[in-house]
Structure 1
């Protein structure tokens, strides 16, 4: 069906079209000057030492695991309430994901207390996902990481420019990743970025993203090198300049877009405060965040009730989603035997409402009226 109010709205205009056109006319469309420009924008805006552009966030996560030295026999603590790539990346390097619960419906990020309970002699890293762009409890998590000498990988794909106590998400752990998938705050269709303050991690990531080659085509075309060696078993994780040119435009529009999303979020929170039977995760958050999505969780509910509520909302012309089905319940992971009651409740009772900068107060009021009617009608 065609929705009157979609889940998200692509923030594209003539600037993106012009950027692509100029890049094609430049005759350089693979990894080159636009990728370098996008990386530099990330360095400046995220206040980090290094940014490495890649073909998608999944590849960035794979590189994060590789550069953190994870290998078969290692255990990595990770949430289940996230997209599968946040956990699949652990398997790519032969390590074993160990699922941790979330705090609860009001804070749907990984629980530091459950992290501590599940540390063993084999634990080598923690994957932290900042759901919806809201920060996990990073002080507690970093304290645990330091105590047990664990690497911290921040999956910040929901949170470009989001902050935690004055620091940008993605700059707190050892390495972080961002997504440029079509519905993200920064959209290039596909694409991603790895950021780090470690010279060693950045150098290895750049090497592994392009077959383990000591120089890339753009460097050789510019006369900076005439030959190359292959010194590691690398991958083809490169981004192209066409997508990077879109990303540069998106980055320059990001701050304004996020400020508008704050207005949308505040309006939602105020309206939803009058709806009984609903929890708004991170309702008390005062940090600057990306507001990538607008999740709500039904109280004293079931998956069947949640689905009925979603169907009623859809019938009113409003698109919703679910972020996310619990990973440990998927066929590929169900034999791991994880018991995560908070995650399972939220996965079964969360509804993602429309969120984008252009939503009007009238539309938000209409959405919340429909939600209220769907729950109680």
Structure 2
């Protein structure tokens, strides 16, 4: 159906071999491959970061809020432009979501200034998102959170491997929360990672991951433990060995894959920059190295986005929206969420074009030429 799909997994025989080795081993639940995945991911992040592999980034966000003691009546500032996971976990723990607007029409991330505008005496945490793989301006955000005594959680779902001033995203806050969903830069189907530089917070995360147990099934299987204690209440947010084996292979490919994404984005920009009806965000930002997770553009206000998406579909080009505004969802209509005018405008006009590391320059050119054709009709 698609000449160019939105995303394609960066898989080859290495992933197949890794999965088959797990199946042949007879050990499927969390085990040695998961430990190796956590170790290698920690090494990639640097800064003596500890990592806990999980079933999803949503699990990581949920654990982060619980570990930091966020609960009933507390306020948590989240981006107005993000996936519903961020607002959902805030509500699940009984806290109140407060929206921070985008910095500008060029930088769609929240900033220290847009966060500061929403801080009250009830604010207990901030969840930032490195949107599309582009890091937030972290110096000011970290300083603000320290000054106000507010916990900082990084949603790094879009940005594995991205860095700000040479420091990897996911190492600035109390916790970093990564996604390994099918369409992410590091893809295992379903999965996530929780990172922290704090030994105490890392241990909290591990307890929440597996029922608060002091030893795991693998430890008892290997004879390293006979029984276990329950240190605290916890959940089952474990990953399994199949997905950890995929994660190991994908992690080994990540740096090169992100470089390929960068080249493709640069080719997109070169082909689209002269089109007046399109605005390309995140241009000429300083101190960052992006992971180039998605390629978002902003359509002119006079363009009907639904009709544009349908026209692309007719030509065999898949596209998407990142993200619909929260206020349009049934679950959030009665929350009286605060205004975020830039984010709401972006949400109404944003369009995501195909991007994945095995994409060719010819496919980029086909997408761009199709866009020009539709606009010039």
* 8 Å Cα contact 1:301/1:349 also seen in 2: no
Gaps of 5+ in 1: none
Does 1:27 pair with 2:26? Answer: yes
Q: Which moved more, 1:278-287 or 1:57-66?
A: 278-287
Q: What per-residue deviation string (whole Å, max 9, x for no partner) do you get for residues 1-44 of structure 1?
A: x1110001111111111101111111111010011010011110
1:8 counterpart residue number: 7
Q: Measure, in 2, the Cα distance between the counterparts of 1:257 and 1:236.
A: 31
Partner of 2:267: 267
- Partner Cα distance (2:151, 2:375) in 1: 43
- Say whether the 8 Å CA contact 2:39–2:51 is kept in structure 1: yes
Within 5 Å, give how 1:315-326 maps onto structure 2: 315-326=314-325
- 1:310 — aligned with what? 309
Partner of 1:290: 291
- Aligned ranges 1:67-82 → 2 under 5 Å: 67-82=67-82
- Residues 301, 349 of structure 2: 8 Å contact kept: no
TM-superposed CA distance for 1:223, in Å, is 1.8
Unaligned segments of structure 2, at least 5 residues:
none
> What is the root-mean-square deviation in Å for CA atoms of aligned residues?
1.3
CA distance in 2, matches of 1:81, 1:40: 32
Q: CA shift at 1:374, angstroms?
A: 2.1
Q: In structure 2, what is the equivalent of residue 163 of structure 1? A: 163
- Which residue of 1 is the match for residue 17 of structure 2? 18
Match in the other structure for 2:301: 300
Kindly state the Cα deviation for residue 308 of structure 1 after the two structures are TM-superposed: 1.6
1:372 equivalent to 2:352? Answer no
Q: Secondary structure at the match of 2:253?
A: helix
Using the TM superposition, name which of 318-327 and 270-279 deviates more.
Answer: 270-279
Task: Verify: 1:179 aligned to 2:183, yes or no.
Answer: no
Deviates more, 1:127-136 or 1:89-98: 89-98
The CA distance in 2 between the partners of 1:183 and 1:248, in whole Å, is 17
TM-score by length of 2: 0.96
Q: Which shows bigger deviation, 245-254 or 131-140?
A: 131-140
With over 3 angstroms needed to count, the CA separation of the structure-2 counterparts of 1:196 and 1:301, relative to structure 1, is farther
Contact 1:213 1:228 (8 Å CA) reproduced: yes
Q: Which moved more, 1:210-219 or 1:326-335?
A: 326-335
SS of equivalent to 1:109 = coil
Task: Give, in angstroms, the shift of residue 100 of structure 1.
Answer: 1.4
1:285, 1:257 → 2: CA distance? Answer: 21
For the Cα contact (< 8 Å) 2:185–2:254, is it kept in 1?
yes
Contact 1:269–1:283 (Cα < 8 Å) also in 2: no
Identify the residue that residue 329 of structure 1 maps to in structure 2: 328
1:184 deviates by: 0.6
Normalising by structure 1, we get a TM-score of: 0.96
- Distance in 2, matches of 1:228 and 1:69, equals 25
C-alpha distance after superposition, 1:225-248 (max 9, x if no partner): 111111211100000011100110
Secondary structure of the residue aligned to 1:126 is strand
Counterpart CA distance in 1 for 2:66 and 2:366 is: 47
Q: Give the Cα separation in 2 of the matches to 1:126 and 1:328.
A: 20
> What pairs up with 1:110-129 in 2 under 5 angstroms?
110-129=110-129
User: Residue 104 of structure 1 contacts residue 342 of structure 1 at CA under 8 Å; is this kept in 2?
Assistant: yes
Shift of 1:360: 2.1
- 1:39-65 per-residue CA deviation (whole Å, 9 max, x = no partner) reads 011110111420000111110110111
What is the number of residues matched between the two proteins? 374
- Check whether the contact 1:181–1:190 (CA below 8 A) recurs between aligned residues: yes
